[in-house]
Amino acid sequence: QITLKESGPTLVKPTQTLTLTCTFSGFSLSTSGVGVGWIRQPPGKALEWLALIYWDDDKRYSPSLKSRLTITKDTSKNQVVLTMTNMDPVDTATYYCAQARVYYDSSGLNRWFDPWGQGTLVTVSS
């Protein structure tokens, strides 16, 4: 069974740096085709894709947030860490991590994100 869980501060001040950790089990981030992504959702708003790190340490970021984001992995600890600098109240959101998969089958290349963690609400306020 694959599970993921997000952890980190629930409250951060404007201009501070947010550090979130995704701790997972049931898979290894050293397995080909596996990745972990981060997604956020402001209260009452849509999902926003943030970043993704693959088994081979390839990293991808949302172009609009790339300058503020850093994603890293610790394969031995089964953890992925996302840092976001210069936090602002508009960054208040539930932050999710999810397993990403990339693989070939008879129909071609496939990509998906599942399962997801339960999410963690981060509030940015002074």
Partner 1 sequence: QTVVTQEPSLTVSPGGTVTLTCASSTGAVTSGYYPNWFQQKPGQAPRALIYSTSNKHSWTPARFSGSLLGGKAALTLSGVQPEDEAEYYCLLYYGGAYVFGTGTKVTVL
80 close to 61: Cβ distance less than 8 angstroms: no
Q: Provide, rounded to whole angstroms, the least separation between the CB of residue 19 and partner 1.
A: 21
Q: Which is nearer to partner 1, 16 or 101 (CB)?
A: 101
In the bound complex, what is the minimum distance in angstroms from residue 58's beta carbon to partner 1? 9
- List contacts with partner 1 (CB under 8 A): 37, 39, 46-49, 52, 60-64, 96, 107-119
Which phi-psi region, left, alpha or beta, contains residue 86 (left: φ > 0; alpha: ψ -120 to 50)? left
- Nearer to partner 1 by C-beta: 9 or 60? 60
Using CA atoms, how far apart are residues 29 and 57, in angstroms rounded to an integer?
9
Choice between 16 and 123, CB closer to partner 1: 123
Helix (H/G/I), strand (E/B), else coil: 80: strand
